[in-house]
């Protein structure tokens, strides 16, 4: 089996690639397990060294739209496409045309290339919790169901929701076997801040653990729905392995999320690394970031995901301790317990 | 005030133009009434002669995408755009690329042209009941609310739903003042059959009244949601006149619909023109048409439309008698009552 991961050098793409390479084989679309022969990582930048060192990894660097146009992605013998590449929410709000190009046009071009390949590959589309947005004219329901109407309040959410519609129709037409999954906010991400409005939801833990100051731009009581990197990758893999029958409707599946607050996250940080860590958090509100974050829902009833055997993380402290375990080089403060 | 109607030579576009020209003035977006100086009708074909004879009518013939690209639509001094032009459902199912180009790309190009114009015109987007589709994996609710999740089961519905998302985000960004309205199936349309799966819902009345045979491709008990031409135009005009506050959310408003069955429609025809008319109906099922039609919902609770003062037609017989009154030249059989 050959696999393509777009955004494959990013944090989530690289983690997914490592997970798949370690599994060695995959049961695609409810079928028999097949060994994974090639994992193509398409991204603007090269993948991490550990991935490049694996003989099964094929790296394709550059602009995804150009790679598609040039036929550089070897789709003809690719059985699974995981489309993670996207401009993030903050970027899309700052540069409307960039978001439309990166998130709408490129997704459509990739779907068209899969269609031309002619063998209907499994196509996992990473949509986002950002399709849900609260507004005075149309308040969100207090708990989001799989059938709740998305009313995106930013361009990123609109573009992701349009991507879901495209994947659904290309699936109905038999061009791909689409699996729309809505990822929750991933925390704790290792590495550096990015342009996502949700970036601080990792930074306010990661930076203090590294002995650096971090800003929290929202009020402590702000409720958020989070998923650990490991749990997020489990959801993506499950989307690829599920049969069409298990998966059900072509609309998107909301992945499970842990509902917590920014205050509880800080309290978990204090239990893990003491006030030495939490004193490094600067509580400085930023109205624009807060508007985006508080427009996202924080409570879900993810019936379809649970039917597929997926569960939310147990607690934020568990997520945080997993981060500390997996990223010892990034933790400079002494850890308790 | 200057107005652009795309698809302006079509049945609905021409009727809307006549209504607006007769009104003479319009209160746009909750503002003061202004006299209508120019109505531009953009379409592949020329408008009907009565419209061409009106000095306020400006006809632009050709491909809409080309007209947009050539700047032929005078958007710089246009205050209201009503975007009706679209490839219809049957065409989109038969030719996927045509549908994507006509309904998705052209809508986006028109929105971008409005954005470049810089003054945020009111933009009424005619979406469709076809955004709702029933499927075994995701049955429709028995009654559709304004907040029901669209799950389109054909490409036309997907493209219309994507159009709604684009209009919503271009509105949020201040590029246009969008009004997404979902039109119900319009019956009785005068003229000839078109490529829409719903075409027979006019043809099975119109052709017998003209003394011609007509085919009904669905079972008599098939329930449908209909709106007369006059009531549909009332809904479109109300969308243009409503203030942003009256309109509310940027998601689409379902226009009111009369719930009836194909059998009741035939019974109304018998009351209006006797068995001489109904004996001209050939009840010959067509599985493909029936699959599309029965996947559309037939019952609505159109709370937002009702809040705007809009109502469904009173009965199908009333719709039919209105057709007979408005189209005497097309009725060859003697009419009762």
Residue A33 structure tokens: 């397990």
Q: How far apart, in whole angstroms, are the C-alpha atoms of residue B285 and residue B219?
A: 7
Q: Residue A48's beta-bridge partner residues? A: none
Q: Which of B137, B173, B249 sits opposite A96 (nearest CB)?
A: B173
Assess whether pLDDT exceeds 90 at residue B337.
Answer: no
A135 touches chain B (CB under 8 A): yes
Is residue B23 scored above 90 in pLDDT?
yes
Q: Which chain B residue lies closest to A112 (C-alpha atoms)? A: B97
Q: What is the token pair recorded at B4? A: 């652009």
Q: In this complex, do A251 and B151 lie within 8 Å of one another by their Cβ atoms?
A: yes
Query: What does the pLDDT read at residue A139?
Result: 92
User: Which residue of B lies nearest to A247 if distances are taken between CA atoms?
Assistant: B137
Q: What was the pLDDT predicted at B161?
A: 98
Q: Is A229:A189 a contact under the CB 8 Å cutoff?
A: yes
> What mean pLDDT value characterizes chain B?
96
The dihedral built from the CA positions of residue B131, A181, A31 and A4, taken in this order, carries a sign that is positive
Helix ranges (H only) for chain A are 11-23, 49-52, 64-69, 89-94, 96-99, 106-117, 155-172, 200-209, 229-241, 244-247, 262-278, 287-294, 303-307, 316-326
Using CB atoms within 10 Å of the CB of residue B97, give its burial: 0 to 12 exposed, 13 to 18 middle, 19+ buried: exposed
**Ranges of chain A with pLDDT below 70:** none
> Nearest-CA residue of chain A relative to B95?
A173
d(CA A311, CA A322): 16
Chain A residue nearest residue B97, CA to CA: A112
Question: How far apart are the CA of B147 and the nearest CA of chain A, in angstroms?
Answer: 6
Residue A67 token pair: 């790679």
- The verdict on domain A2-184+229-254 having CATH code 3.20.20.80 is no
Contact B331, B209 (CB under 8 A): yes
Q: How far is B332 from chain A (nearest CA, A)?
A: 43
Give chain B's radius of gyration (CA, Å).
Answer: 19
Mean pLDDT of B285-294: 90
Instruction: Show the tokens assigned to A223.
Output: 């409720």
Residue B195 has pLDDT above 80, yes or no: no
Interface membership of A101 toward B (CB under 8 Å): no
Residue of B11, B123, B132, B156 marked catalytic: B156
> Is residue A99 within 8 angstroms of chain B, CB to CB?
no
Helix/strand/coil for A10 = coil
Q: Is A165–B161 a contact, with Cβ atoms under 8 angstroms apart? A: yes
Calculate the CA dihedral of residues B232, B235, B240, B242 and round it to 10 degrees: 180
How close, in Å, is residue A112 to chain B by CA atoms? 10
CA dist B7 and B311 (Å) reads 25
Predicted confidence at residue A194, as pLDDT, reads: 83
Tell me how far apart the alpha carbons of residues A164 and A180 are, in angstroms, rounded to a whole number. 6
Q: For residues B163 and B126, what is the distance between their CA atoms, to the nearest angstrom?
A: 9
- The predicted complex's ipTM stands at 0.94
Minimal Cα distance from B149: which residue of A? A149
CA distances to B9, B106, B116 from B69, rounded to whole Å, are 20, 10, 12
Give B2-184+227-254's CATH code, choosing from 3.40.50.720, 3.40.50.920, 2.30.250.10, 3.40.50.150.
3.40.50.720
For residue B196, what pLDDT band results from cuts at 50, 70 and 90? confident
DSSP annotation of B280 reads T
Contact in structure between A195 and A90 (CB atoms under 8 Å):
yes
Tell me whether B155 touches chain A (CB under 8 Å).
yes
Containing H/E element for A261? strand A258-261
Asked if the model's pLDDT at residue B259 lies above 90, the reply is yes
Cite the DSSP H helix spans in chain B. Answer: 11-23, 49-52, 64-69, 89-94, 96-99, 106-117, 155-172, 200-209, 229-241, 244-247, 262-278, 287-294, 303-307, 316-326
What six digits make up the tokens of A209? Answer: 């653990």
Q: Confirm or reject contact between B166 and chain A (CB < 8 A).
A: yes
Q: Which two tokens stand for residue B77?
A: 């001094």
Interface residue B165 vs chain A (CB under 8 A):
yes
Q: Which residues of A touch B172 (CB under 8 A)?
A: 153-154
Q: Does B135 touch chain A (CB under 8 A)?
A: yes
B308-326, pLDDT tens digit by residue? 999 999 999 999 999 999 9
Among the partner residues B96, B138, B168, nearest to A251 by beta-carbon distance: B138
Q: Tell whether B291 lies on the interface with A, counting CB pairs under 8 A.
A: no
Q: Exposed, middle or buried, B289 (CB in 10 Å: 0-12/13-18/19+)? A: buried
For B67, phi then psi, to 5°, come to -60, -40
The rounded Cα B317 to chain-centroid distance in angstroms is: 20
**Which residues of A are less than 8 Å from B173 in CB distance?**
96, 155
**Chain A contact set for B160 (CB, 8 A):** none
Q: What is the mean pLDDT of residues B329-336?
A: 96
Least CB-CB distance to A135: which of B150, B173, B249?
A: B249
The first and second tokens of residue A20, run together, are 């798949």
Which class for A336: exposed (0-12), middle (13-18), buried (19 or more C-beta within 10 A)?
A: exposed
Q: Encode pLDDT of A276-327 as tens digits.
A: 999 999 999 999 899 888 888 999 999 999 999 999 999 999 999 999 999 9
- Crossing angle, helix B262-278 and helix B200-209, to 10 degrees? 20
Residue-wise pLDDT tens digits, B176-185: 999 999 999 9
- pLDDT for residue B25 is more than 90: yes
CA A235 – CA A12 distance, rounded (Å): 12
A116 touches chain B (CB under 8 A): no
**Phi and psi, residue A163, nearest 5°:** -55, -40
Residues 6 or more apart whose Cβ sits within 8 Å of residue A146:
A249, A251, A252, A253, A254, A301, A302, A303, A304
Q: Where are the domains of chain A?
A: 2-184+229-254
The pLDDT score that the predictor gives to residue A296 is 87
Q: CA A159 to CA A107: how far, in whole Å?
A: 10
Which of B135, B155, B251 shows the shortest C-beta gap to A169? B155
Q: Choose, out of B92, B138, B141, B165, the residue to mutate when testing the contact with A (most A CBs < 10 Å).
A: B165
- Closest chain B residue by Cα to residue A245: B137
Place of tokens 């947005």: A133
Strand pairing class (B223-227; B258-261):
antiparallel
């Amino acid at each position: 089996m050959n696999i393509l991961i777009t955004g494959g050098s990013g944090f989530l793409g690289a983690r997914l690639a490592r997970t798949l390479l370690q599994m060695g084989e995959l049961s695609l679309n409810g079928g028999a397990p097949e060994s994974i022969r090639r994992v193509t990582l398409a991204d603007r930048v090269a993948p991490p060294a550990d991935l490049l060192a694996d003989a099964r990894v094929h790296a394709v660097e550059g602009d995804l739209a150009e790679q598609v146009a040039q036929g550089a992605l070897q789709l003809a013998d690719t059985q699974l496409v995981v489309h993670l590449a996207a401009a993030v929410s903050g970027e899309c709000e700052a540069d409307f045309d960039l978001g439309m190009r990166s998130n709408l046009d490129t997704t459509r071009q990739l779907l068209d290339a899969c269609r031309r390949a002619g063998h209907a590959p499994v196509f996992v589309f990473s949509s986002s919790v950002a399709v849900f947005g609260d507004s005075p004219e149309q308040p969100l329901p207090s708990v989001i169901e799989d059938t709740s109407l998305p009313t995106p309040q930013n361009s990123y959410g609109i573009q992701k929701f349009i991507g879901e519609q495209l994947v659904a129709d290309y699936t109905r037409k038999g061009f791909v076997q689409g699996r729309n999954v809505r990822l929750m906010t991933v925390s704790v991400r290792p590495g550096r801040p990015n342009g996502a409005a949700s970036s601080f939801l990792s930074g306010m833990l990661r930076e203090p653990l590294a002995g650096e100051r971090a800003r929290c731009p929202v009020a402590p009581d702000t409720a958020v729905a989070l998923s650990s990197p490991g749990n997020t990758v489990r959801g993506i893999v499950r989307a690829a392995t599920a049969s069409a029958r298990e998966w059900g409707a072509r609309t998107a599946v909301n992945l499970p999320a842990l509902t917590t607050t920014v205050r509880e996250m800080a309290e978990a940080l204090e239990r893990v690394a003491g006030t030495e860590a939490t004193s490094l958090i600067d509580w400085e509100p930023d109205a624009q970031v807060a508007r985006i974050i508080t427009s996202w829902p924080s409570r879900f009833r993810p019936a379809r995901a649970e039917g597929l055997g997926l569960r939310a993380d147990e607690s934020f402290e568990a997520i945080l301790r997993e981060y500390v375990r997996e990223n010892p080089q990034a933790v400079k403060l002494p850890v308790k317990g």
